Structure 1
């Protein structure tokens, strides 16, 4: 088997382009969370309506991930990335012009389709351009762009304070991806592997054949729990911090530190996983996440809120990116992007449910601490599933 066009662009530039795509996704995803306290009164949205709009992007992401990975395994990574980046850039601009909850929800749904189409292909590219002993670090280096982009928009929100123009945030978040489209077209090579015709190309066989059923189900549960926690925090952390009695600037600061330590977590955990393996590392990380979430739930001072937000970001997002490197190793090459897309798509059920749960709990009168405390058992369950996956399921071996 041979890679298509892999020699035209060095791995460093490929990682930089993929990092940029991830950073712009992270910017736009986090933009919704930091804009929410300003967006909701402007559009007349209650907590439940805001939760639905936040989850619409995750629904689109789920659909885009499943279809984008499947299509890319057949026609290539680059064309799917081009369309996906153009799509989320365009509808980020549309989000900026939303004048009702319905228009906002539809714009976020279409934006999510672009997010979803891009993500499994970034995972597949990382797997295909890196040797096994550097796979986790390559993947986490790409995906730490997500929290880096989130940190940027959090800083903008912190600087803007109560006068923040939420529409301008989405205009910027839409223009930058559109400017990246020609860079992808001219500089990003095709990394998809060309294989001989094989029964493995059938997605169901690739996911569940040769005793891969337990691994696939565990990966789906792990992604679902992690993404439930991640996207509840991304969409609701600033709002929950404000509801604890802090200012909008303090809420943006919590989001900033969560995203900044996500970058650190991605790089540190990726480097560590390549050297000591994922089993005990990820098990400990997700147990620590449970503690950080409980601490965030009961924190009453700003320093404690910021420290626990940072620890949660280090664990939940850093751990997720190591999972992005780990999951494709359980599948054969011809279905790798589709398998990654399936894991992201099924996992996105958690990212859809998370913001909705937060909105419903708040609408029902639950305190911010009670909403955050709900997440700690989910983190412990994630740790248990990671340990089971890495103990009882074996990665796929070519040949």
Structure 2
């Protein structure tokens, strides 16, 4: 299977294209947070309206991941990925042209559908172009694009004396996917194996039949818990550092350390997973995350905060990208994208809950250390779920 794909396009080219797609997703998702302080007064948005507009993309992502995974198994990876890239490109442009709350929210919802449709396809493609001994590194290399794209939008926002206009951020974020779409069409091969060309049966049967129920539930649990911690930190880490008595610049430095080490973690952990396997590596990763969270919770000096923030990014985001490589191995080819899509969708439910939990804890009077230490049990629960999954789950075996 891999050899026939390689004759059409080199794996390196496929990884580069998919990295570009992930980077553009990361750019657009992070662009909303960067643009929000300028967008709100321009469109006359209150805090509640801004929150709903921001959440609309995540809601669309959940729906898009479920439908996109199913559609990719039925119709092929390339056409669904092409449609997803075009969709989030067009509606990123629509975001830039929004005139009020209603048009902004609809544009973000539709863009989220595109984000969600792309992600399970990237996971399935990584699995299908890679030999087993390079699968994790291929997947993590692709998904490093997400934090890279987020860093790029932060840099773009600083260009010029007053920063780039928020509408221009989304114009860039919309134009680039549309420019990349021809590369998806002309250069990206169809990676779905020949034996998976027939239309799959019902998705629920594919996820839960033939002894896959335990694996599916555990995969969903692991993704939800990991992304709960990830998005709480992405949204709240700078604020929690400031609440400890540090400056906003120091809070931003903690977030930068987390994102920088996330890329290093993804590459290092992907390389390690291909060589020593998933079980004990991921157990160590999530045990390390728990330790990093406790260190971050009670850190008093900036040096410790930067180190602990970096360790948290290395483990929680690096570990997430390894999970993207692990999830598909439990499903046969005809359900691979559907399984990945359902995992992404469940994970995004956790990403919605994480920031809400932090907000509620702070509103109830919890200090920054208490909020951070409250995440450690989630890391330990993730560790336990990964151990059970990799010990008792039933990976798919090629006939």
Q: Which protein, 1 or 2, shows the higher relative CO under an 8 Å CA cutoff with sep ≥ 6?
A: 1
Paired with 1:138 and 1:2, the residues of 2 have a C-alpha distance of 13
3-state secondary structure, aligned to 1:395: coil
Paired with 1:49 and 1:372, the residues of 2 have a C-alpha distance of 27
Aligned residue number for residue 206 of structure 1: 206
Query: Once structures 1 and 2 are overlaid, which stretch shifts more, 275-284 or 103-112?
Result: 103-112
Query: Once structures 1 and 2 are overlaid, which stretch shifts more, 58-67 or 154-163?
Result: 154-163
Displacement of 1:204 after TM fit?
Answer: 2.3
- Mark the CA change 1:286 to 1:271 in structure 2 (over 3 Å): closer, same or farther: same
Aligned residue number for residue 118 of structure 1: 118
Aligned residue number for residue 342 of structure 1: 342
Counterpart mapping for 1:120-139 below 5 A:
120-139=120-139
Gaps in structure 1 of 5+ consecutive residues: none
Paired with 2:216 and 2:196, the residues of 1 have a C-alpha distance of 24
Confirm or deny: 8 A CA contact 1:27 1:150 kept in the other structure: yes
Paired with 1:200 and 1:166, the residues of 2 have a C-alpha distance of 43
Paired with 1:247 and 1:159, the residues of 2 have a C-alpha distance of 23
Q: Cα deviations across residues 104-131 of structure 1 (Å, max 9, x unaligned)?
A: 4333222211110000000000111111
Paired with 2:6 and 2:371, the residues of 1 have a C-alpha distance of 47
Query: Once structures 1 and 2 are overlaid, which stretch shifts more, 76-85 or 4-13?
Result: 4-13
Aligned residue number for residue 278 of structure 1: 278
TM-score w.r.t. structure 1 length?
Answer: 0.89
Displacement of 1:24 after TM fit?
Answer: 1.0
Paired with 1:101 and 1:296, the residues of 2 have a C-alpha distance of 37
Q: Cα deviations across residues 188-207 of structure 1 (Å, max 9, x unaligned)?
A: 11111222787964322321
- Mark the CA change 1:114 to 1:190 in structure 2 (over 3 Å): closer, same or farther: same
Confirm or deny: 8 A CA contact 2:231 2:351 kept in the other structure: yes
Confirm or deny: 8 A CA contact 1:26 1:148 kept in the other structure: yes
TM-score w.r.t. structure 2 length?
Answer: 0.89
Displacement of 1:149 after TM fit?
Answer: 1.4
Aligned residue number for residue 79 of structure 1: 79
Displacement of 1:99 after TM fit?
Answer: 5.2
Gaps in structure 2 of 5+ consecutive residues: none
- Mark the CA change 1:192 to 1:198 in structure 2 (over 3 Å): closer, same or farther: closer
Displacement of 1:305 after TM fit?
Answer: 3.1
- Mark the CA change 1:360 to 1:174 in structure 2 (over 3 Å): closer, same or farther: farther
3-state secondary structure, aligned to 2:219: helix
Paired with 1:207 and 1:389, the residues of 2 have a C-alpha distance of 15
Counterpart mapping for 1:15-164 below 5 A:
15-36=15-36, 39=39, 50-98=50-98, 100-157=100-157
- Mark the CA change 1:389 to 1:353 in structure 2 (over 3 Å): closer, same or farther: same
Aligned residue number for residue 289 of structure 1: 289
Paired with 1:113 and 1:174, the residues of 2 have a C-alpha distance of 14
- Mark the CA change 1:19 to 1:6 in structure 2 (over 3 Å): closer, same or farther: same
Paired with 1:100 and 1:244, the residues of 2 have a C-alpha distance of 37
Aligned residue number for residue 184 of structure 1: 184
3-state secondary structure, aligned to 2:189: coil
Displacement of 1:272 after TM fit?
Answer: 0.3
3-state secondary structure, aligned to 1:195: helix
Paired with 1:366 and 1:169, the residues of 2 have a C-alpha distance of 35
Paired with 1:104 and 1:248, the residues of 2 have a C-alpha distance of 29
Displacement of 1:214 after TM fit?
Answer: 0.7
Displacement of 1:170 after TM fit?
Answer: 2.8
Paired with 1:157 and 1:310, the residues of 2 have a C-alpha distance of 23
Counterpart mapping for 1:248-327 below 5 A:
248-327=248-327
Displacement of 1:159 after TM fit?
Answer: 6.8
- Mark the CA change 1:216 to 1:350 in structure 2 (over 3 Å): closer, same or farther: same
Displacement of 1:241 after TM fit?
Answer: 4.1
The CA RMSD over aligned residues, in Å, is: 2.8
Aligned residue number for residue 235 of structure 1: 235
Confirm or deny: 8 A CA contact 1:69 1:121 kept in the other structure: yes
Paired with 1:179 and 1:163, the residues of 2 have a C-alpha distance of 24
Confirm or deny: 8 A CA contact 2:87 2:114 kept in the other structure: yes
Query: Once structures 1 and 2 are overlaid, which stretch shifts more, 9-18 or 349-358?
Result: 349-358
Query: Once structures 1 and 2 are overlaid, which stretch shifts more, 26-35 or 57-66?
Result: 26-35
Confirm or deny: 8 A CA contact 1:33 1:236 kept in the other structure: no
